[in-house]
Chains A and B, each alone.
Chain A
Amino acid sequence: MTFLGGCLVAACCWLLGRALLPSRDSLARGLWEEQCLAWLLGAAALPLAAMAPTWAGLRFDAPLAWTLLGLSALAGGIRLRRDRRSGQATSPLPLGRGARVFLVFLGVGSVAAALAFPLVQFDALYHFAYKGKILFYTGNPLDPAFTQPLAHYGRIITHPNYPLGIPFLEAFAAHAGGAWDDRWVQIPAAFWAACMPALVALGLRSVSPRAAACGALLMAAVPMLYVRNFFLTGGLGDLDVGAMNPLLLPGTGDLPLACFLTAACALLLRARRSGSLLAGGLAGLCLAGGVLTKNEGLGLFGVFFLALLLGAPFCGRRAWKATALAGLVGILLAAPWLEHRRALPVIDEDYAHLFTLQRMESFLTRPEEALVTTLDAMQTAKKAETRTMRLPLIGENLGVEFVNVFNWGLLWILFWAGLANVRILLDPEFRWLALLVLGGLLLYALIMLVTPWSLGRLFTTGIPERLFLHLAGPAAILIGMRFGPAAPESAD
């Protein structure tokens, strides 16, 4: 039953996304891109749809969950029927047989790997699934389980102010299945890696179908979508899922955020070229989905529009209308969460207060030893590191990650190669994507500069590679824009 509940929620996500999609005529796409985008839009919209009424005071109980699922299914059903009648065709990508098999294998394999084992990893359990459990059992995003960790005798919770997108999806699955199940609540959130290449392809369609096909293959081949530092940390020897630190697929927020940002880029790229306001609005939905997935989503939301302002300020009324709509929709949809978040306690990461010029100046000019606030002399931070200035340490770790082929293949090398051309920088869309990726990297570098954590400790927890992952989609689209047109006719 819990398995069926998970499947039902995944299907409702897809149906809701289908209902939201523009027509095939106004946003040309292949069948594969359509299904992936539909599910992703639903996975953004359903938690947002649950967040708004619960913020307004309704309980996220079974009736509300079933109502939202029912409405999603209804809207999707109507849309499917209408599409069947309209007879609008999809446009397949020029992918050879081998490439299709390759994409299907990686896509299906990633879903199977995500569901092969129950949730066991620290972040997936305590940062995300625990919040899903609270939502499922209490229906209240302001339950004392969220709000009382700071009391003298408090409730135990890690990162109480982490966004509720993934927890809501898991709680939906638990409601639909009638019980919480550590394996099957993952079903609605098991498709991120499978969808990412399709989202890149969708964005690159406006460049050329060849570029789209190449971008999809490029993205699918990035190891970090599936596993982190696989052959560096033991490879097959570490294949004990759960103990295996590098497993990224289930239950955490980095891959979903990467997908939402990629989809937002792809949709806005298409919207600005075609003038489709709906596509622009959906880009805003994806950005709001990112905000509801990880705290970094809010920062990337800002960088996304700042990059547009700086990179592509003169692009015609049509494009700006779509952009403005994306911003407006994004802000409106994210507002309930942002407002709700203010009521949640902050335990150890309050970057809004850490981003001060004084703190940044301190970390730029003084060694870490005197400045890390959450450490004491007994902790494991390396003595060597605590005497080190943070900036070189950050630069070193970011630099090494760019050439870590075990995580990225040649993605980042291609990205930098793509930037090494003055003429292409005249293209406003290219400039936008370049500034988005570079701005995102700069943002993360600044976060590392002021973080209350010991940097040495932080670099053992998947930082910076997990942050790089958020920006991998836009980087792949940029590479496709730069080199895709020169690719062979059939990407196989």
Chain B
Amino acid sequence: MPKTAALLARGHLVFAAIPAVFLLATGFHAVRAGFVADLGSFTPARLSPRLTSELIQVVSKGQRLRRTVGVWGLGDKYGDSDSGGYLVLNRLIQPGTRIQIDASWMPEALRRSLPKGVTPVEGPYAAAKGADLLVILGTREEYRRPDLFHLAEVMKKRVLLDGRSGLDPGLPGLELFPDLWVSTIRSWPSILDPELRGFVDEVARRVPPDGSILLVPRPSPLPLLLGRWFLPLNYLLFPRKLYLVDAAHAGGTNPEFRKWTLDAADPKFDPRQAAREVGAGWLLECSLWIDFRPQDFALKDLRGGPGAESGPDSR
């Protein structure tokens, strides 16, 4: 046994190559990026087939039998023949499930390589026809800007899983689940978002360090898993005090945040009254979304005096 153990111990040392490579590469990357996080070098978003298929199961409410799934595209930025797309297809294949994919753009070789059980059809709306669920895995222009009314007409159950997060959430008659997908592929930490940083600079310029801000979330069209932009805002703007309705759930687990996005916005809510309650001199109205968009945030000065609430008081 000691000899075997000595052998194992020596074998264990081989794995020191992992940290060695990691540390060398980190050093190289840091020097190249100038010791700051370089957004341009972040790994492009990639498919996560396992999570995607899990989400598909959630979205389709576990219905496995006699289900029709439409698929647009096969991959991501790495090309439409990305292997991740194949893995998603393979996971979608279930007894009784019909999978129809838009093959109009596919070269013959690619069509032949489709997994058995996947039916190639001509055109995106043909793929969506009669579908209970449409899974968008491609980035082609026609997938990003489809005729949504037509889509709603041809689909059976009108549930979309948008792998590209490119669709407008306010769709008539369509149930869109963009964040489910995006939650698996965000490419950089929220605190590095350049638009967020710019917005923080502006708020910091206007609100003094001892100021208090009440964040007022507008109703969200969909439950979100990502989009807790109040966390980096709160961190970066400290010592300014940020208040939020039901902050404990907003800052809790992801499912709690998800529920919060649906419950937090109260139509009878009087923001000025609430601001008075907490002693906040500023209101920050916000629509939370997966991406930080400065136009979703509006800062209002409640203290009165010149300039308060003047003009487009937001970025």
Contact = CB atoms under 8 A, between A and B. Distances in A.
Of listed A382, A406, A410, residue having the most chain B CB within 10 A: A410
A32 interface: no
Given A122-B189, A157-B251, A486 B6 contact: yes
Interface stretch (B20-28, B99-107, B154-162, B307-315): B20-28
Of listed B20, B183, B242, residue having the most chain A CB within 10 A: B20
Interface in B3-30: 4-6, 8-9, 11-16, 18-27, 29-30
B245 interface: yes
Nearest to A483: B5
13 contacts: A125-B235, A133-B235, A133-B239, A137-B238, A155-B241, A156-B231, A156-B244, A226-B22, A240-B37, A380-B54, A405-B15, A417-B4, A487-B9
Interface in B291-314: none
Of listed A378, A380, A479, residue having the most chain B CB within 10 A: A380
Interface of B: 1-2, 4-6, 8-9, 11-16, 18-27, 29-30, 35-38, 41-43, 54-55, 57-58, 62, 180, 183, 187-189, 191-192, 214, 223, 225, 230-232, 234-235, 238-239, 241-248, 250-256, 258-259, 274, 277-278
Contacts of B37: 117-118, 120, 240-242
A457 B254 contact: yes
A45 to B, nearest CB: 27
A347 B9 contact: no
B15 A116 contact: no
Contacts, number: 252
Of listed B5, B8, B256, B259, residue having the most chain A CB within 10 A: B5
Contact of A226 (B8, B19, B223): B19
Contacts of A375: 255
A218 interface: yes
A105 B232 CA distance: 35
B57 A225 contact: no
A302 B94 CA distance: 49
Contacts of A242: 37, 42, 188-189, 192
Given A116-B30, A217-B13, A374-B253, A225 B19 contact: yes
A441 interface: no
Given A109-B27, A417-B8, A221 B13 contact: yes
A414 B253 CA distance: 36
In order of increasing CB-CB distance, the 5 nearest A-B pairs are A409-B15, A154-B247, A109-B23, A221-B16, A116-B30
A126 B23 contact: no
Contacts of A145: 238, 241
Interface of A: 102, 105-106, 109-110, 112-113, 116-118, 120-122, 125-126, 129-130, 133-134, 137-138, 144-145, 148-158, 214, 217-218, 220-223, 225-227, 230-231, 234-243, 345, 347-348, 374-376, 378-384, 405-406, 408-411, 413-414, 417-418, 420-421, 452-454, 456-457, 479, 482-483, 486-488
Given A234-B43, A238-B43, A374 B256 contact: yes
A137 B239 contact: yes
A385 B1 CA distance: 40
Contacts of A152: 245-246
Given A116-B27, A223-B22, 15 more contacts: A105-B20, A117-B30, A130-B238, A154-B248, A156-B231, A158-B251, A218-B9, A227-B22, A230-B18, A239-B26, A378-B258, A409-B13, A457-B255, A483-B2, A486-B6
Nearest to A457: B254
A243 B42 contact: yes
Given A116-B26, A149-B251, A153-B277, A414 B15 contact: no
A417 B277 CA distance: 63
